[in-house]
Amino acid sequence: QDYKILGFPFKSGVKGDSISQIEFGLESLFKNGDLKDFKLIFNFEEKCTNFEVFKKDVLKNIENYNPDMIFFENFQEIKSKPDPKILDYLASLKIPLVYFEWNPWSMFRKRPTIFLRQFFEIIDINFIKGSGTLFNVFEALGGRNISFTVHPSNQNLMNFDLTSNKKLFEISMFCNYWPSKLNILNMDGVNKRYEIVSELKNFYGDRFKLFGKNWNQKFQSQVINYSEVPEYQFYSKINLGWEHYSKIPYYFSNRLPNSYHLGVPYFSNPIIGLESILPNYDFLTYKNTNGLIEKINTLISDSNLYEDISTTNRKFAYDYFDIKRIFKFNINQIETMYF
């Protein structure tokens, strides 16, 4: 793909403990020989609300580099309004302006900011990792050319010995617990997470390990950084999660593709749209602990079944959760939509 792409990575979350999919994706494509060149400009959120600052730190870079397309991501944490002169300048470039949203939203929780609402006016193509209500939000706000993109596995965080057979944990669940004071304001799945964790801890005792923030001390949860999650997943025999936003079709967090990529069976609540896509879907989904405990016990006792699921999931991850494949597909879509 003979393109020069300029990317504006946005590393949301705790400083030093977050990643940019744009940075990871463009880097991977370039190293693999699938991209002519790329350039990254960091801290766009500090340079996009004042044209004089933008002119000094960004505009000259754009004109000197002369990109074929520009990638943005995750604007929802920028609270200020963009400078209209910046929007006018970017629109005047006459190249694809592409936005990636890696998080779920609704009009109720995690609502889009005024910054992104105004940026939608110039964005040519939007990639989101969900459908249904998430698509509806983008469309209602004026988003154009909205397309689905898959959440990749975080292979850039897997800097440990992937040949090791050592397992430090038997049954691990990865999730935070952020209840609201009013139950009606809870994110989808908050109460269910508490129910599942309580029952698994009660049944398995110390065989069950919880990783996540804001849990009651009785659960003995271990708080780990976002960047550490893949390593802890790898050293667990069985991984579990319970996704928020289960009503958004195709939406899932990075824990699922990571676990698939690492070859560790991952149990999750049902995800709309993936019923006929994910391998071993029926076995690896659960609605409560009744059937889940039986499945976990079966998997622990049946090494052939465990190896079969591990191998199948790992192959699926290489085929569909690899960021090079995902970004190549996205660029092909941009070609079709824009050129």
Query: What would the pLDDT profile of 78-110 be if each residue is shown by its tens digit?
Result: 878 899 999 999 999 999 999 998 877 655 666
**How far is 224 from 232, CA to CA, in rounded Å?**
9
**Token pair of 277, please?**
């896509």
Confidence (pLDDT) at 60: 92
Beta strands in 163-258 (DSSP E): 169-174, 208-211, 236-240
pLDDT, the chain, mean: 92
Query: What would the pLDDT profile of 43-71 be if each residue is shown by its tens digit?
Result: 888 888 899 999 999 999 999 999 999 99
Residue 12 has pLDDT above 60, yes or no: no
**How far is 291 from 243, CA to CA, in rounded Å?**
18
**Token pair of 247, please?**
């009503």
Q: How much of the chain exceeds pLDDT 70, in percent?
A: 96
Query: Which candidate, 125, 38, 146, places its Cα nearest to that of 338?
Result: 125
| Torsion angle in degrees (nearest 10) through CA of 135, 141, 146, 148 | -30
User: At a CB cut-off of 8 Å and minimum separation 6, what does 276 contact?
Assistant: none
Q: Would you say 70 and 93 are in contact if contact means Cβ atoms under 8 Å apart?
A: yes
Q: Which amino acid is at 55?
A: K
**How far is 72 from 223, CA to CA, in rounded Å?**
30
Query: What would the pLDDT profile of 141-185 be if each residue is shown by its tens digit?
Result: 888 999 999 999 999 999 999 999 999 999 999 999 999 888 777
**How far is 279 from 111, CA to CA, in rounded Å?**
33
Q: Residue 222 has what DSSP assignment?
A: B
Q: 237 burial class (0-12, 13-18, 19+ CB within 10 angstroms)?
A: middle
**Placement of tokens 């190249």 in the chain:** 95
Query: Which candidate, 48, 57, 132, places its Cα nearest to that of 97?
Result: 48
**How far is 67 from 209, CA to CA, in rounded Å?**
47
Query: What would the pLDDT profile of 186-211 be if each residue is shown by its tens digit?
Result: 777 899 999 999 999 999 999 999 99
**How far is 158 from 151, CA to CA, in rounded Å?**
16
CA angle centred on 45, ends 41 and 51, rounded to 5°: 85
CA distance between the termini of the chain: 14
Where b means 16+ CB within 10 Å and e means fewer, 48-60 reads bbebeebeeebbe
Confidence (pLDDT) at 307: 98
